[in-house]
Structure 1
Amino acid sequence: MDKKFLVPLCILLMLLSVKAAPRRSLITHLPGFSGKFLSHHYSGYVSIDGNAETGKNLFYYFVSSERNPRKDPVVLWLNGGPGCSSFDGFVYEHGPFNFKAAESKENLPTLHNNPYSWSKVSNVIYLDSPTGVGFSYSKNISKYSTGDLQTASDTHAFLLKWFEQFPEFQANPFYISGESYAGIYVPTLAFEIAKEIQHRTKPVINLKGYLVGNGVTDPKFDNNAFIPFVHGMGLISDTIYENVHASCKENYYNSDSESDQCAKSMEKVSKAIQGLNVYNILEPCHHDPEVATNLSSNLPLSFQKLGLTERPLPVRKRMFGRAWPFRAPVRDGPVTLWPQLLANTRHVPCVSDEVATSWLNDISVRKAIHVDVASGTWELCTDRISFDHDAGGMIPYHKNLTKLGYRALIYSGDHDMCVPFTGSEAWTSSLGYKTVDEWRSWSSNDQIAGFLQAYENNLTFLTVKGAGHTVPEYKPREALDFYSRWLDGKSI
Structure 2
Amino acid sequence: IGNPLLEFNTDFNSPSEFYWSHGLISDSTYESTTLACNYSTYRRQVQISGSVSPICSQVWRTASREISKFIDAYDVTLDVCLSSVFAQAHRLNQLQDTVKIDVCVEDETTKYLNRKDVQKAFHAELIGVTEWTICSDVLNYDYQNLEIPTINVLGALVKFGIRVLVYSGDQDSVVPLTGSRALVNGLAKDLGLNTSVPYRAWFGGRQINCLLNF
Q: Fold conserved (TM > 0.5)?
A: yes
2:141 to 387, 393, 397: 387
Answering whether residue 122 of structure 2 is matched by residue 369 of structure 1, we say: yes
- Return closer, same or farther for 1:261/1:405 CA change in 2, 3 Å cut-off: same
Answering whether residue 163 of structure 2 is matched by residue 407 of structure 1, we say: yes
1:230 to 13, 19, 22: 19
Q: Deviations over 1:244-265 (max 9, x none)?
A: 366248x441137999777655
CA deviation after TM superposition for structure 1 residue 219, in Å: 1.6
Q: Which residue of 2 aligns with 1:254?
A: 41
Equivalent residue letter for 1:383: D
C-alpha contact (below 8 Å) 2:7/2:150 kept by paired residues: yes
Unmatched 5+ stretches in structure 1 = 1-211, 295-315, 320-351, 455-492
Unmatched 5+ stretches in structure 2 = 46-51, 91-102
Q: How far apart, in 1, do the equivalents of 2:30 and 2:128 lie?
A: 51
Equivalent residue letter for 2:161: G
Q: How far apart, in 2, do the equivalents of 1:383 and 1:289 lie?
A: 29
Q: Percent identity?
A: 28
Answering whether residue 212 of structure 2 is matched by residue 452 of structure 1, we say: yes
Q: Deviations over 1:200-252 (max 9, x none)?
A: xxxxxxxxxxxx22233322122111011112223234x33663366248x44
Q: How far apart, in 2, do the equivalents of 1:261 and 1:371 lie?
A: 46
Q: How far apart, in 2, do the equivalents of 1:259 and 1:384 lie?
A: 29
Answering whether residue 66 of structure 2 is matched by residue 243 of structure 1, we say: no
Equivalent residue letter for 1:233: H
Q: Deviations over 1:6-34 (max 9, x none)?
A: xxxxxxxxxxxxxxxxxxxxxxxxxxxxx
Q: How far apart, in 1, do the equivalents of 2:22 and 2:126 lie?
A: 47
Q: Which residue of 2 aligns with 1:439?
A: 199
| Structure 2 residue matching 1:450: 3-state secondary structure | strand
Q: Which residue of 1 aligns with 2:8?
A: 219
Q: Deviations over 1:282-317 (max 9, x none)?
A: 1222346899x99xxxxxxxxxxxxxxxxxxxxx83
Q: Which residue of 2 aligns with 1:56?
A: none
Q: Which residue of 1 aligns with 2:132?
A: 378
Q: Which residue of 2 aligns with 1:120?
A: none
| Structure 2 residue matching 1:387: 3-state secondary structure | coil
Q: How far apart, in 2, do the equivalents of 1:270 and 1:378 lie?
A: 28
CA deviation after TM superposition for structure 1 residue 434, in Å: 2.7
Answering whether residue 104 of structure 2 is matched by residue 317 of structure 1, we say: yes
2:174 to 393, 415, 418: 418
Q: Deviations over 1:372-398 (max 9, x none)?
A: 575864332222222224372211222
Equivalent residue letter for 1:370: H
Q: How far apart, in 1, do the equivalents of 2:54 and 2:136 lie?
A: 36
After TM superposition, the structure 1 = structure 2 runs for residues 47-66 of structure 1, keeping only pairs within 5 Å, are none
Q: How far apart, in 2, do the equivalents of 1:380 and 1:242 lie?
A: 31
Q: How far apart, in 1, do the equivalents of 2:39 and 2:209 lie?
A: 31
CA deviation after TM superposition for structure 1 residue 452, in Å: 1.0
Q: Which residue of 2 aligns with 1:4?
A: none
| Structure 2 residue matching 1:437: 3-state secondary structure | coil
Name the one with the larger helix percent: 2
Q: Deviations over 1:149-183 (max 9, x none)?
A: xxxxxxxxxxxxxxxxxxxxxxxxxxxxxxxxxxx
Query: Which of the pair has the greater relative contact order for Cα pairs under 8 Å at 6+ separation?
Result: 2
- Return closer, same or farther for 1:361/1:243 CA change in 2, 3 Å cut-off: closer
| Structure 2 residue matching 1:244: 3-state secondary structure | helix
| Structure 2 residue matching 1:254: 3-state secondary structure | helix
Q: Which residue of 2 aligns with 1:429?
A: 185
Large movers: runs of 4+ above 4 Å: 256-268, 287-291, 372-377
Equivalent residue letter for 2:17: P
C-alpha contact (below 8 Å) 2:15/2:173 kept by paired residues: yes
Q: How far apart, in 2, do the equivalents of 1:278 and 1:268 lie?
A: 16
- Return closer, same or farther for 1:373/1:282 CA change in 2, 3 Å cut-off: closer
Q: Deviations over 1:104-142 (max 9, x none)?
A: xxxxxxxxxxxxxxxxxxxxxxxxxxxxxxxxxxxxxxx
C-alpha contact (below 8 Å) 1:414/1:421 kept by paired residues: yes
- Return closer, same or farther for 1:387/1:447 CA change in 2, 3 Å cut-off: closer
- Return closer, same or farther for 1:440/1:259 CA change in 2, 3 Å cut-off: farther
- Give the count of matched residue pairs: 185
| Structure 1 residue matching 2:198: 3-state secondary structure | strand
Q: CA RMSD in A?
A: 3.6
Q: Deviations over 1:359-380 (max 9, x none)?
A: x344443444333575864332
Equivalent residue letter for 2:202: W
Q: Which residue of 2 aligns with 1:279?
A: 74
CA deviation after TM superposition for structure 1 residue 423, in Å: 1.8
C-alpha contact (below 8 Å) 2:74/2:172 kept by paired residues: yes
C-alpha contact (below 8 Å) 1:240/1:268 kept by paired residues: no
- Return closer, same or farther for 1:419/1:242 CA change in 2, 3 Å cut-off: closer
Tell me which structure has the larger Cα radius of gyration.
1
